[in-house]
Amino acid sequence: MALEVLMTAKTLARPGIDLLEQAGCSLSFLIDGTEAELAETLRSKPFDAVISRTLALTSEMIATAPALRVIARHGVGHNNVDVDAATQRGIPVLIADNANGQSVAEHTLALLLAVARRIPVLDAKIRAGAWPRSMTGLQLSGRTAGIVAFGAIGQKVGHMLKAVGMNIIAFDPHISDKAAHEVEWAGSLDALLSRCDVVSLHSPLTAETAGMIDAERLARMKKGAILINTARGGLIVEEALAEAVASGHLAGAGIDTFMDEPLAADHPFKPNDRIVMTPHMGGSTDAALDGVALSAAQNVIDMLIESQIDRRLLVNPTVLDRLTTPVA
């Protein structure tokens, strides 16, 4: 009998589909891509695995899937999955193996350049018949960039910005081998914010980091600085950022992730053209989608067929004590 796998989206990149089908898995997709449809689909069939993309996978949904044995994230974040509920059920939650890191880093640079050189505004004015040669932008070379969370993506962004000619300061309390990285380290987030012309966020969304960029911290940033977020929307208090840009304290912001997606019609970022927005697509490139699909599919196969887990990618390691089938 084929193993049943549910993708919580309308599609999956072909390499991931091929890998699952070659392993004898039967793959199902959502048609409309809504949370209501996801909840109903989970009740309709005994799925062995879920590949989770952007929709929330709640404790209630997990409870309606008695056959579920693994949740594989289609990405590196996992705040849309109720990890505690999965752990209580003995279900491992695994993230993808940083397959989209390069694409997210490139998107970070793209947003920064778009804000610093006001590219969307210039493009819109030309299309409207103007020729805005009097507008000026910011040169990045010689300025200082702060990287908040210096994991794989943060390091890639740091290398790119250093190549542009920027000085790099990093803050990450969870990195112990700081001497191995050729950057200056800030002793605190506040110290970094006060010194940097550009601040780029790459933190996971946790109880510790939620809302960490609030009005008080935005006020600590240098006047004329730029804030970039390609990590998680919940890191920023959005109303406070909108005010910081509108007041002229910040030169602008580049935002790819938001507290609630898609944006409400009255979202405070929308009126300000100094806030450049993209719809949570930092990892949406051909190479990244192929890589993430392969990694998620491999996590499913490893757990269901090979009885093994890549512990580097396991979000809830305490689940290992709850598994009825031993894993390698």
Active site amino acids? 232, 261, 280
Contact (Cβ atoms closer than 8 angstroms) between residue 164 and residue 147: no
Contact (Cβ atoms closer than 8 angstroms) between residue 37 and residue 30: yes
Write the burial class of residue 152 (CB in 10 Å: 0-12 exposed, 13-18 middle, 19+ buried): middle
Cβ atoms < 10 Å from Cβ of 65: 23
Instruction: Give the burial string for 34-64 (b: 16+ CB within 10 Å, else e).
Output: eeeebbebbeeeebbbbbbbebebbeebbee
Q: Measure the CA–CA gap between 280 and 265, rounded to whole angstroms.
A: 17
Contact (Cβ atoms closer than 8 angstroms) between residue 109 and residue 153: no
Q: Measure the CA–CA gap between 286 and 295, rounded to whole angstroms.
A: 14
Contact (Cβ atoms closer than 8 angstroms) between residue 150 and residue 158: yes
Residue 303's alpha-carbon distances to 66, 299, 300, 307, 312, in angstroms, are: 16, 6, 5, 5, 14
Contact (Cβ atoms closer than 8 angstroms) between residue 228 and residue 108: yes
Phi-psi bin for 44: left (phi > 0), alpha (psi -120 to 50), beta?
alpha
Contact (Cβ atoms closer than 8 angstroms) between residue 272 and residue 291: no
List, in order, residues 6 or more apart from 273 with CB less than 8 Å away.
Answer: 120, 121, 124
Sheet holding 25-29, edge to edge: 25-29, 3-7, 49-52, 70-73, 93-94
Contact (Cβ atoms closer than 8 angstroms) between residue 215 and residue 243: yes
